[in-house]
């Protein structure tokens, strides 16, 4: 309990505020107490995860991270082999997506790998080590196929390169390699519906009732909210099921239609304050591994949030992942609160 007094209560408060906005959005999108109660139970479970990981010494988690990483790969591998069947596992009465656990396991493992190699800019050895550590689970997730979660894993690579910098020739190699991998995926791995999502983003007006349908309806939802929103009685897009995945991937559009410009502004401000609390935590930390861990964990939450919002307004192809803290579902909510818990663990144990 003494450790819990050291946590950033403001960070928890802003995260909870977003989660309660998410509950309101779920009610607006489904109009059913069943979904609301279910998400509330998931939130209670996620909060338990937050407090458990906040109280654990993050250094012990770093020591355990190779085993956690190996366990993650062992779970992801059979799911990748049966790709297209299911990327979920049933744990008792709950369904859980193992790839979500990678969002806090991979950062722990990366810090364990790189903590003794703090050279600037990033050299070839660290470039290969970090790329392989992220690339292996990312490839297994993509083969399930779950391209949305696999895409979020890229945030770890981008964060490392932003933190340490990379030599120019490595940056050029990364760009060329990225182009090559995209071409390889386009011709040999992407399904037709996945290709249509990309082409519909480039030319949305050509197929408004096909591949571009989700974004088209999302824009209608956002634009129709006006200044103060339409409220549940007057909503059409989510209530009449014009907007697919309204309570999950497009929850932001539902909030925009229900609460309007004022509601959207409030949500964006809550996210900005939360990210400020996350990344400002590094100013209280003296150990380099704690700083790196906070930056990596914060990066995936910020990355997924930004790109979900870009998808909702039609500025990025639809890849399919929830909006952290707001969307319906338990796996991502649990991963987010556990990540916040580990961040708070670095604060609670910084004097040890």
Q: pLDDT for 229-260, tens place per residue?
A: 887 777 878 777 788 888 889 999 999 999 99
Residue 94 is given by DSSP the state E
Round the average pLDDT of the chain to a whole number and report it. 86
Give the highest mean pLDDT range of 142-151, 156-165, 196-205, 270-279: 270-279
pLDDT band at 176 (very low <50, low <70, confident <90, very high): confident
Residue 75 pLDDT greater than 70, yes or no: yes
Cα dist. 187→34, 193, 194, 348 in Å? 43, 13, 12, 49
| Mean pLDDT confidence for 159-188 | 79
Query: So what's the pLDDT on residue 52?
Result: 94
Query: So what's the pLDDT on residue 265?
Result: 95
* Domain positions in the chain: 3-348
Query: So what's the pLDDT on residue 167?
Result: 76
Other C-beta atoms within 10 Å of 28: how many?
23
| Mean pLDDT confidence for 323-345 | 95
pLDDT band at 195 (very low <50, low <70, confident <90, very high): low
Quick one: what percent of the chain has pLDDT higher than 90? Answer: 47
Cis peptide before 145 (omega within 30 of 0): yes
Query: So what's the pLDDT on residue 209?
Result: 61
Of 98-107, 155-164, 168-177, 312-321, the one with minimum mean pLDDT is 168-177
Q: How far apart are CA 245 and CA 243, in angstroms?
A: 7
pTM of the model: 0.92
pLDDT tens profile 115-167: 755 566 777 788 888 889 999 999 999 888 788 899 999 999 889 888 887 77
Q: Please state at what angle helix 331-348 crosses helix 98-114, rounded to 10 degrees.
A: 30
HEC string of 251-300 equals HHHHHHHHHHHHHHHHHHHHHHHHHHHHHHHHHHCCCHHHHHHHHHHHHH
Spatial neighbors of 177 by CB under 8 A, at least 6 apart, are none
| Mean pLDDT confidence for 13-26 | 95
pLDDT band at 23 (very low <50, low <70, confident <90, very high): very high
């Amino acid at each position: 309990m003494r450790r819990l007094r050291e946590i950033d209560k403001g960070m928890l408060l802003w995260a909870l505020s977003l989660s309660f906005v998410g509950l309101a959005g779920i009610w607006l999108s489904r109009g059913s107490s069943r979904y609301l109660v279910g998400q509330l139970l998931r939130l209670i479970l996620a909060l338990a995860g937050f407090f458990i990981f906040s109280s654990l010494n993050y250094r012990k988690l770093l020591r355990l991270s190779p085993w956690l990483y190996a366990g993650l790969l062992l779970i992801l591998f059979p799911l990748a082999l049966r790709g297209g069947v299911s990327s979920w596992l049933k744990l008792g009465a709950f369904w859980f997506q193992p790839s979500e656990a990678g969002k806090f396991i991979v950062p722990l493992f990366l810090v364990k790998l790189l903590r003794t190699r703090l050279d600037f800019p990033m050299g070839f050895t660290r470039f290969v080590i970090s790329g392989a550590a992220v690339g292996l689970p990312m490839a297994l997730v993509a083969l399930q196929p779950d391209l949305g979660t696999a895409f979020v894993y890229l945030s770890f690579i981008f964060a490392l390169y932003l933190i340490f910098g990379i030599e120019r020739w490595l940056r050029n190699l990364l760009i060329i390699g990225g182009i090559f991998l995209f071409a390889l995926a386009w011709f040999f791995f992407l399904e037709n519906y996945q290709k249509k999502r990309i082409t519909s983003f480039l030319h949305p007006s050509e197929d408004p009732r096909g591949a571009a349908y989700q974004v088209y309806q999302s824009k209608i939802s956002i634009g129709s909210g006006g200044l103060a929103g339409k409220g549940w009685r007057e909503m059409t897009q989510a209530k009449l099921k014009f907007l697919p995945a309204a309570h999950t991937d497009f929850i932001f559009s539902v909030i925009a239609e229900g609460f309007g410009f004022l509601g959207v502004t409030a949500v964006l401000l809550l996210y900005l304050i939360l990210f400020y609390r996350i990344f400002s935590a590094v100013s209280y930390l003296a150990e380099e591994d704690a700083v790196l861990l906070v930056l990596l964990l914060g990066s995936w939450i910020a990355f997924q949030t930004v790109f979900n919002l870009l998808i909702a307004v039609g500025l990025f192809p639809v890849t399919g992942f929830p909006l952290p803290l707001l969307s319906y579902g338990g796996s991502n909510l649990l991963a987010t609160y556990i990540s916040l818990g580990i961040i708070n663990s670095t604060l609670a144990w910084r004097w040890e």
